[in-house]
Amino acid sequence: MTHSTPTASSPSAPEDGARTGRPDRNLALELVRATEAAAIRAVPFIGKGDKIAVDGAAVDAMRAFLSTVSFDGVVVIGEGEKDEAPMLFNGERVGNGQGPACDVAVDPVDGTSMAAAGRQNALSVIAVADRGAMLDASSVFYMDKLVTGPEGRGVVDIRKPVGENIRALAAALGKRPEEVVVAILDRPRHEGIVREIREAGAGTRLLLDGDVAGGINAARSGTRIDMCVGIGGSPEGVTTACAVKALGGFMQGVLAPKDDAERDRGLAAGLLMDHVYDADDLVKGEDAFFVATGVTDGGLLDGVRYGDGVIRTESIVLRTQSGTVRRVVAEHLASKWL
């Protein structure tokens, strides 16, 4: 038994769910069930220090719920290759095989290390688009990314120094550079760019893990983050692009192979090296969904909460076709999850 309270942060444009062979708007609520399940099942392992256990519980729950969804999905962007974690693997078929043919990007827990450590900002994430719409970047694990709100379009460029981009974006936002906040993964590889950000006068929001939420908050209006930069996972880049397109934000990405062998694998797979991909290159078309449920509390979503015989979840649902942002707060009878 689930009580859901959806709210929209923008006026809802007409949504046509009757187009044969295309993702239907009702698909969004079906996908939320899968991210909710993954988040709930991960909770017993939060703070226990075992990220494999966190991921394994979430993967099993997401796979089980996706099997009931009316669509013919193929996982284009899966998780697990980087650290041999449990995974919904690339090429895996999901859904009941009926309904629209879709590409699927999954991350049962974006931020497994954070969840395992009991830290904030872990999410369960699914993105869905028309079949053939998502860039399969699986042969190159990392991508250099730049995300802003719509004000960054035609103003910032990933090929420019970060300080120049900060000053340009600040002017477009009507701010001083000192008021700009830039999100970036807290990694040794980013020490130089963090120094450049601060030398430009901007502040940093250092992310411990999982840059999907950072990218979304950079693209959304009304958040404290103005820009998200740096090298993170290419799967997360494609997933983030679904959200950025729905939010009307701006995104660029450049694949960042670790070595020549990975670069060669990417070229053999048809990927473009040293090429600036934009959001429309990463996810083609205008009919895609992004769905996320909070696992632990964060700036984007509240985490799973238990109390008074119910389990409370908070999710966000974005759709590119309508440009809507919906929050779904659900209360699940805890007895159904024992």
189 belongs to an annotated ligand binding site: yes
Task: List helix spans (H) across 25-50.
Answer: 27-42
264 belongs to an annotated ligand binding site: no
Between CA 35 and CA 58 the distance in angstroms is 9
Residue 134 DSSP symbol: B
79 belongs to an annotated ligand binding site: yes
112 belongs to an annotated ligand binding site: yes
188 belongs to an annotated ligand binding site: yes
Q: For residues 329 and 314, is the Cβ–Cβ distance under 8 A? A: yes
107 belongs to an annotated ligand binding site: yes
DSSP element (H, E) containing 307: strand 305-307
236 belongs to an annotated ligand binding site: yes
Strand runs (DSSP E) across 45-111, as ranges?
72-77, 93-94, 101-110
Nearest to 143, CA basis, from 338, 276, 289, 51:
276
Nearest to 300, CA basis, from 214, 186, 203:
214
111 belongs to an annotated ligand binding site: yes
Nearest to 184, CA basis, from 163, 141, 215, 222:
215
187 belongs to an annotated ligand binding site: yes
The binding site for substrate comprises: 110-112, 142, 187-189, 209-211, 233
The binding site for Mn(2+) comprises: 55, 79, 107, 110, 236
The binding site comprises: 55, 79, 107, 110-112, 142, 187-189, 209-211, 233, 236
